[in-house]
A = this chain, B = another copy of it.
Amino acid sequence: MRPRSSRDIRRENRFDLLRRVYSAERAVTRQWLAAETGLSPATVATLTTELLALGVLVEVGREDSGGGRPRARLAVNGDHGVLVGVDVAETYVRADLFDLALRGLDSGHREIGPEDHQPDVVARHVVDLVRGIFDRGRLTRDRLLGIGVSLPGQRHTDSGVSLFPAATGAYEDGDPEGRFRGLLADAFGSEPFLENPLKASTVAELWFGGGRAAHDLAVVTLGTGVGVGIAVDQRLYRGATDAAGEWGHTLLVPGGRTCRCGRTGCVEAYVGAPGIVATLRERDPRDPLLHADESATVDALASAAGRDDPRALAVLDEVGATLGVALANLVNVLNPDTVVLGSWVATRLGRWLLPAARDGAATHALPRNLAAVDWRLSGVEGHAVSLGVAALALEGLVAGGPSAAPRRDPVPTTAHRER
């Protein structure tokens, strides 16, 4: 338990300031920042000059103030460098290049299979992709300010062990994450920032999406897998072992459908993409909307719903209602002020799922908890996972490198601690 020093206050304030510049739609003034953060104009001045000197912020013109000295407008200095965010999923690797303002510049994509699920192989894919992007943009490596990588599976901050989903057997005793981290550090000359997709997209919502105004936020990821990212007081909540948010494997229907995880009745088995497909199939095993792969099925469902096809709407109603009931539990326990639906299933079907879920939640959530919730679809443009993980890398940058990340103080290596 390292206590907080006054330096932490500075770091937090600087960070808060920066985040507000980022999430504002337009360039902002010092006065607005002071009002927004609650800091005195004097402090805002000190912080901004610091960030201006660093090159992270720039003045972009001025604004009339009615007779007095015009207000300077501040914005993120996009040209100061680039950030890379990489999303390693089970079936693909996607890398995005951002300028420092986190505007997407370019991206690359590559399909992978289970045979690639090894640290070395994944690292090679990542390095190749990023190199390709750099070459295309004629960028030199010294422009790179930070790189963040989202890895599937659960990470363990303390031990640094990541569970590459298919590599658990092969790498049980090794340190796959450490190896991966090392390979990337060698290739790019700076430590990558690693996180899982759930947390990454939560950060993206917090910076740029529906969570900007939220204090206590739940970001529901609806993809092939399902989970929830939780933010308490605008900060990502990780849980004791960085494993919070495994809402997808929460029991919803005792003795229900078999889930990918082997258990039965998980939320994921009903509201994840395979769950939606299963619902469709249960209603009619020969439904023409059914395609070989789930992504195509979801697309078919979306376009059918767009045509007001009653069968598609009925399926979405059913799934949405189930989602709502599951969300009601979350709302009752966490009492968030904002719930955001994100990831690719939500992007394509959220238009229909969200209202149905809201109605479904109303049947089981407590009125007071329900009333507190602002329901939203993801407001993030582009790929939330890459963006979030790039934002995390940026955080590390501003805070002073990834070493500033650990949240608990490390266990002393020598047997020094008594009691």
Contact = CB atoms under 8 A, between A and B. Distances in A.
A195 B409 CA distance: 33
Interface in A245-290: 245-247, 249-254, 261, 263
A202 interface: no
Contact of A369 (B5, B241, B329, B409): B241
A237 interface: yes
Contacts of A32: 419
Interface of A: 1-6, 9, 12-13, 16, 32, 35-39, 154, 156, 215-216, 228, 230, 232, 237-247, 249-254, 261, 263, 325, 328-330, 332-337, 363-364, 366, 368-369, 371-372, 408-409, 417-419
B6 A240 contact: no
Nearest to A238: B335
Contacts of A409: 38
Contact of A417 (B35, B216, B252, B369): B35
Closest 5 CB pairs of A and B: A239-B335, A240-B337, A244-B335, A246-B332, A250-B329
A245 B333 contact: yes
Instruction: Label chain A's interface by main secondary structure.
Output: loop
A321 to B, nearest CB: 11
A243 B368 contact: yes
Contacts of A230: 333
Contact of A335 (B215, B216, B240, B325): B240
A366 B249 contact: yes
B37 A1 contact: yes
A341 B3 CA distance: 30
Contacts of A369: 239, 241, 243, 246
Given A4-B12, A32-B419, A241 B329 contact: no
Number of copies: 2
B38 A1 contact: yes
A239 to B, nearest CB: 3
A6 B9 contact: yes
A36 B1 CA distance: 8
Contacts of A36: 1
Contacts of A37: 1, 3
A26 B156 CA distance: 35
B366 A243 contact: yes
A253 B250 contact: no
Nearest to A337: B240
A250 B333 contact: yes
Nearest to A216: B240
Contacts of A261: 366
Contact of A330 (B215, B243, B253, B333): B333
